[in-house]
Chains A and B, each alone.
Chain A
Amino acid sequence: MESKRTDPEDIDFTDAELDAFGDYTDALQAQKNPDMEEYLKRCPGSADKMRPILETALLLDREITQFRRKHPHADLDKLLDPKQKSGNKPK
């Protein structure tokens, strides 16, 4: 039986927040090692809300970068698709 989750299904973002987040992840993709605080300054009223979200993006970026380095030929779709879970988790 699945446990009930309190997902923020109705989470809302302002345009400034989305722009800051999108630009931050773009910088992550470009391996520019962006300063998170710089992007949080662009939405000062919601820095507390956005900080953990940017941190999660940073965590995911690092993890996927590491995964790609270790398993250059691995199929990430199989790994991420819950229907195809076969215990093939990255070690």
Chain B
Amino acid sequence: MNYAAQAGGERKGVIDIAALWREFHERVYHWLYGMVGNAEDAKDLTICVYDWAWEHQNQYDPSRSSHCTWLYLIAHSEAVGFWRKRRLPKRSLDTLPESMEPTCAGPEAEHNAAAAREGLWRAVGDLPESERVVMRLRFHDGLTVARVARVLHVCVRTVKYREARAAALLRVRLRQQ
């Protein structure tokens, strides 16, 4: 069936909505049913599609799309609006809390944390080599004090001393930054 000829739809702004209904409403309904998953909502949305088409028929431009494509575009928009309403439950303003505190650190806090982190790494890098090696073996490689002592051929007390001294130096340098 040549719908365009029957509806006289070649002229912008003039649409035979009844003819559009007869020709396409089942297709639009089935497409919407696939989108929303139930007959009741699909029926309502089909009506909405034709309502919208009727109200805005002056927006239809036959040079840009067929009637069918236009209806599908409207149906798509209706389906998106349908799911948007479903996903965003309406809430009264009265139910909102007095203050909406941010749930994550703001950019300033993130910047400060990054600066502190960089300062820590710089301070570790500036440690004397003997202390830095011990810190690396202990904290990065996860070796025990006794194991570090064996690796470095020093006594256990020396390892403990270097480690504690390294932490003390780090503390001082972090405070100086």
Contacts and interface: CB of A to CB of B under 8 A. Distances in A.
A44 interface: no
Nearest to A29: B142
B173 interface: yes
> For the side of the interface on A, what is the size category?
35 or more
Contacts, number: 92
Main secondary structure of the interface of B (DSSP, over half): helix
Given A8-B169, A18-B157, A25-B163, A76 B140 contact: yes
A32 interface: no
B138 interface: yes
Interface of B: 114, 117-118, 120-121, 124-126, 132, 135-136, 138-140, 142, 144-145, 156-157, 159-161, 163-165, 167-174, 176
A57 interface: yes
Contact of B139 (A5, A29, A82, A91): A29
B163 A22 contact: yes
Contacts of A60: 120, 124, 135, 139, 167, 170
Most A CB atoms within 10 A — which of B118, B138, B163, B167? B167
B140 A11 contact: no
A25 B134 CA distance: 12
